[in-house]
Amino acid sequence: MPDELDDQWLEFAEAADAALEEQPAPPRLRSNVFSRLNLEQAKDGPLASVSESKAEGRDLCVFEEIMRVAPVGEEIRQLNYCRVCHARVLGENLDNAPIWWEGCPYADFHRQRG
């Protein structure tokens, strides 16, 4: 069941991304929506681990990459690191957030200004 939900979430995100190419939403709004969707997804159970995400070809931010290679258990690798990252706070609250990390969705939202 979680795999099916993950697939549905990814399909939704891809469709939303395609729709935004025509007229992108402001970066702050995208950041807030992304955060809320992650919180909702986490209610259904553990998130995919950073190891699984990397194996599926997804980009990881610097902090996720550190946790992927750190000697910790899979439960730790399934945490939502964005919840404690200052990039999320900046992305949700500033129009031109000074964040540039590769693999960070909040930095991506602010790089792709409309």
This model's pTM is above 0.85? no
- Residue 28's Cα: distance from chain center in Å? 14
Q: For all residues of the chain together, what is the average pLDDT?
A: 84
pLDDT beyond 70 at 1: no
Burial letters 7-18, b for 16+ CB under 10 A, else e: eeeeeeeeeeee
At 71-104, the pLDDT tens digits run: 998 888 888 888 888 899 999 999 888 888 888 9
At 34-70, the pLDDT tens digits run: 999 988 888 888 888 888 989 999 899 888 888 899 8
